[in-house]
Amino acid sequence: MSKTSALQTEIQQSKPFRSLGQELVVGLLRTADLVRRAVDRTLAPYGVTPQQYNVLRILRGAGEAGLPTLEIGGRMLEQAPGITRLLDRLEAKGWVRRERCPQDRRQVLCWLTPPGRSLVEKLDDPVDDADREAVAMLSAADQERLLHLLEAVRAGHR
């Protein structure tokens, strides 16, 4: 048990982890952060943040019908307040249009504007390339394995 793990070396930690679970949690958070940064670098040149891109992609999927604010939030990992302000910025940049729903005036429907749509389309290839590259060090089989393990972790959180 006194072996020094690679992750321990990475974070220059002298004490061993108290449990495998603890090491795994730290490793998961660090890995996700690295990958997030990689995606970030791809999007930055286009003036879009990952979250903004996420919303734009979700709205493209919604098509002509548009989506209420909280529906968007439901497909992301964020609470309502953040969504409102994210949409504020996207609207300010002219990529999103918002309108109060006539049927239910509590809701605010959101649509992609034509510039917003063309931006997302321009980003499809670079983003997909970046995503592939971000995990390209793993064989396809290992990618599948990782995918399933992560899914199992998520399944346990509900």
Partner DNA sequence: CCGTGATGCTTGACATGTCAACTATTGATA
Partner DNA sequence: TATCAATAGTTGACATGTCAAGCATCACGG
> Candidates 11-19, 45-53, 113-121, 136-144 — which segment interacts with DNA by CB under 7 A?
45-53
CA 36 to each of CA 8, 16, 24, 61, 129: distance values in angstroms, whole numbers, following the listed order: 22, 27, 18, 22, 14
- The least distance separating DNA from the CB of residue 121, rounded to whole angstroms, comes to 19
* Whole-angstrom Cα Rg for the chain: 20
Strands in 67-68's sheet, in edge-to-edge order, are: 67-68, 108-112, 96-100
Q: How many C-alpha atoms does 88 have within 13 Å on its Cβ side?
A: 6
Binders of a second copy among residues 21 to 60 (CB under 8 A) are: 21-25, 27-36, 38-39
21 binds DNA (CB under 7 A): no
CA 90 to the chain's CA centroid: 16
Footprint of DNA on residues 49-78 (CB under 7 A)?
A: 49-52, 68-71, 77-78
Binds DNA by CB under 7 A, chosen from 4, 5, 22, 79: 79
Contacting a second copy within 68-127 (CB under 8 A): 74-75, 77, 124, 127
Q: Which of 8, 84, 113, 143 binds DNA (CB under 7 A)?
A: 84
